[in-house]
Amino acid sequence: MGSVKDLKVLKEATGDSFGRARFIFSDRYSVFDWGEMPDQITHKGAAIALLGAYFFERLEEIGIPTHYRGLVEDDAVKKLSQVERPTNIMEVKLLRVIKPELRGDEYDYSMYQNQGGGFLIPLEVIYRNFLPPGSSVFKRLEQGEITPNDLGLDKAPVPNQKLDTPVLDVSTKLEITDRYLSWDEARIISGLSHDEITGLKKLTGRVNDLITGEFMKIGLVNEDGKIEVGFDTERNIMVVDVLGTLDECRFTMDGFPVSKEIARIYYRNTPWSQAVEQAKKEDRQQWKEICRLNPEPLPERLNMLISQVYCACTNAVTQREWFPGVPSVKEVLEEIRQVLPM
């Protein structure tokens, strides 16, 4: 399935009917599109599964379709309120994944033009409420890939700028390295109509509002995040994969990151990060094979603290102590500030 979770297919999907599958959320993590890193973060998989289930159930309460069926405990599919202990397994409705073909240096998406329903839309949609210093927006502005006008701004933004109106971005989902797209290009390659693109943007706004509101209750700011979507068998858009977690979103408390960004910050100060950037410049498709360095594991204490961040956020948002004895998010961050090179 991917670098941080595995997929067990119980029933294959067709264009006319959903399949059935289970996500097994692992304790693996990934930064900079590297894939599996050399160490793992304890309890991360269960914390992601529980928090993802919470947001899927909230979406369904407000009428937004999802592929979520429930969490798996003792091989039974249950709602979050029925689960007695942390689990890292989630059952979902399965969609077809139609992979674009790489022809030379470009991907061929022509197979999407005549599809009906029941498939994963090959896009990731990103919402941005703030522009933190690590946002890819600044690099894209510097390289001339976008302009302030593309962001709805009349001048160049500055780090940590709050956006009066959230900016929606879109990128590829099924290519070797994610690639940002214009909305017109996204519509064309995925075979969506203008109305479907409009509906996708409105859906993303509602998801953003939900996640922002839930994390605001525990003192966190939702700076940006992403969702993935598919078409059900009637070609209605539905939310898939997982959402609202510390891997899919970037949160802060008092300006300090509370997400996978903590690991990114650590690795940005390593020679491996520089080697990754150089390799991506040399070959966008095969960069990992030519990268001259491999990543080292996180320092042991920082690894433990990142684990506590995942657990503390899940405890706080779901208002249930899934992970007993874990300090509050604020207390964990105070320790991280002492060990993280900034």
| Lookup: tokens for 339 | 């060990």
- List residues bridging with 94 in a β-sheet: 19
The residue type of 313 is C
Print the domain residue range for 293.
5-339
Angle at alpha carbon of residue 324, lines to 218 and 215, rounded to 5°: 15
Contact indicator for 70, 88 with CB cutoff of 8 Å:
no
Give the strands of the sheet with 76-78, arranged side by side: 5-11, 19-25, 89-94, 68-73, 76-78
Please name the residue ranges forming H helices in the chain: 44-61, 136-142, 183-190, 194-216, 261-268, 271-282, 287-290, 300-318, 329-339
Of the chain, the end-to-end C-alpha distance in Å amounts to 33
How many domains does the chain fold into? 1
Q: What are phi and psi of 126, to 5 degrees?
A: -110, 130
Residue whose C-alpha is closest to residue 123's, from 210, 21, 196, 53:
196
Which residue shows structure tokens 């890193």?
37
Angle formed at CA 125 by CA 120 and CA 130, multiple of 5 degrees = 160
State the Cα–Cα distance between residues 253 and 261, nearest whole angstrom. 13
| Cα gap 327→55, rounded to integer Å | 23
Token readout for 213 is 């509101």
Phi, psi of 192 (to 5 degrees): -85, 150
Q: Are strands 249-253 and 221-231 parallel, antiparallel or unpaired?
A: antiparallel
- CATH code for position 208: 3.30.470.20
Number of continuous H segments (helices) and E segments (strands) in the chain: 9, 14
**For residues 252 and 260, what is the distance between their CA atoms, to the nearest angstrom?**
11
pLDDT confidence of residue 260: 86
pLDDT tens, per residue, the chain with 342 residues: 567 899 999 999 998 999 999 999 999 999 988 989 999 999 999 999 999 999 999 999 999 999 999 999 999 999 999 999 999 999 999 999 999 999 988 999 999 998 999 999 999 999 999 998 878 899 999 999 999 988 888 899 999 899 999 999 999 999 987 899 999 999 999 999 999 999 999 999 999 999 999 999 999 999 999 999 999 999 999 999 999 999 999 999 998 999 888 999 999 989 999 999 999 999 888 899 999 999 999 999 999 999 999 999 999 999 999 999 999 999 999 999 998 876
Backbone angles phi, psi at 224, to 5 degrees: -160, 170
